[in-house]
């Protein structure tokens, strides 16, 4: 049965990172992001079925319906009715779809609670911050790396008011073999072979694990737009690469980007078990959050996504 729900300004959120326009003789509707607020348990499948609105007084909203398998349809609804399943947005599992994400989902198991407490203690500034939930936090201080990490390569960027662009400086160099591997991954994401921009690298490792984490970021400013392409990958001792996060090659507005970028924040034992996890920061326009990836037997798994703040 489909429920009709008006949502509070708290809880978890799933966000579609694109600009949408829907017109009818009754309405003109445009959004740069969709926010669906819900409370979901970490240890059981979430059912997003319902009619979701940001405000109860809105004459439009989003209808989510269960479809076959693990898929949901996401339809736009207005005074004239709802679009057919798959017509407005492709059917999606939501949870594993990179176009959507859950913010600050309620932690109901001990592992999730341990991670959340660790993140709040080590990376959170002012709380709450911006327009985020009460359990959110300010992440603008990024100098949080733990001791015991060997930084093979890294880079720093500062905004240049004169050129109205970021000035980045590479610190340390990666091996030619790894550079070739990362460039190949960027090209698989659409980066042209003769792209004119700059690519900067990070490689972090620890003696406590048999893998390292590498990040490659390409950017090129073109007037009011910027070209971007990014990959963050797990690299084992045999130079096998597993992509953790990626940003396919795209051009977007430099001031109001319609992208999600990722950055390494730390390698840390987030659950107090002597096991290093990868701590990442996700950055979308006016939206910033933490994610924790655990590596078990060489296989990465996202254990947490939330906190942070949005404006």
Q: Could you give the percent of the chain with pLDDT greater than 90?
A: 25
More confident residue, 38 or 118: 118
pLDDT tens readout for residues 63-107: 888 888 778 899 888 776 788 888 898 999 887 777 776 654 566
Sheet holding 165-171, edge to edge: 165-171, 150-160, 198-205, 211-222, 225-236, 241-253
Residue 207 region, left (φ>0) first, then alpha (ψ -120 to 50), else beta?
A: alpha
User: d(Cα 89, Cα 45) in Å, to the nearest integer?
Assistant: 21
- pTM for the full predicted model: 0.68
Let me know how long the chain is: 311
pLDDT tens readout for residues 131-183: 656 667 777 666 677 778 889 999 988 877 777 677 889 999 899 999 999 99
The sign of the dihedral angle between the CA atoms of 157, 199, 164, 137 is negative
Structural domain spans, the chain = 4-82, 113-310
How many other β-carbons are positioned within 10 Å of the β-carbon of residue 281?
Answer: 19
Q: CB-side exposure of 228: number of CA atoms within 13 Å?
A: 17
């Amino acid at each position: 049965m489909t429920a009709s729900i008006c949502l509070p300004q708290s809880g978890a959120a799933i966000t579609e990172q694109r600009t949408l326009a829907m017109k009818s003789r009754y309405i003109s509707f445009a959004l740069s992001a969709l926010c669906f607020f819900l409370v979901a348990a970490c240890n059981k499948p979430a059912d997003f079925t319902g009619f979701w609105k940001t405000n109860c007084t809105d004459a439009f909203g989003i209808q989510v319906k269960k479809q076959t398998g693990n898929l949901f349809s996401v339809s736009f609804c207005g005074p004239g009715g709802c679009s057919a399943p798959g017509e407005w947005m492709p059917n999606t599992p939501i949870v594993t779809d990179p176009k959507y994400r859950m913010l600050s989902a309620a932690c109901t198991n001990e592992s999730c609670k341990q991670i959340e407490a660790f993140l709040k203690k080590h990376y959170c500034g002012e709380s709450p911050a911006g327009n985020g939930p009460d359990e959110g936090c300010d992440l603008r201080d990024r100098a949080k790396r733990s001791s015991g990490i060997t930084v093979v390569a890294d880079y720093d960027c500062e905004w240049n008011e004169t050129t109205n662009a970021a000035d980045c400086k590479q610190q340390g160099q990666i091996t030619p073999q790894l550079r070739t591997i990362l460039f190949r991954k960027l090209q698989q994401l659409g980066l042209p072979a003769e792209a004119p921009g700059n690519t900067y690298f990070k490689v972090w490792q620890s003696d406590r694990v048999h893998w390292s984490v590498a990040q490659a970021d390409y950017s090129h400013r073109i007037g009011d737009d910027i070209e971007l392409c990014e990959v963050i990958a797990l690299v084992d001792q045999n130079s096998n690469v597993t992509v953790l996060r990626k940003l396919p090659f795209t051009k977007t507005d430099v001031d109001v980007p319609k992208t999600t970028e990722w950055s390494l924040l730390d390698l840390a034992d987030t659950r107090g078990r002597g096991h290093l996890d990868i701590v990442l920061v996700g950055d979308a326009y006016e939206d910033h959050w933490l994610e924790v990836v655990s590596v078990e037997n060489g296989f990465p798994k996202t254990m947490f996504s939330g906190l942070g703040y949005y404006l």
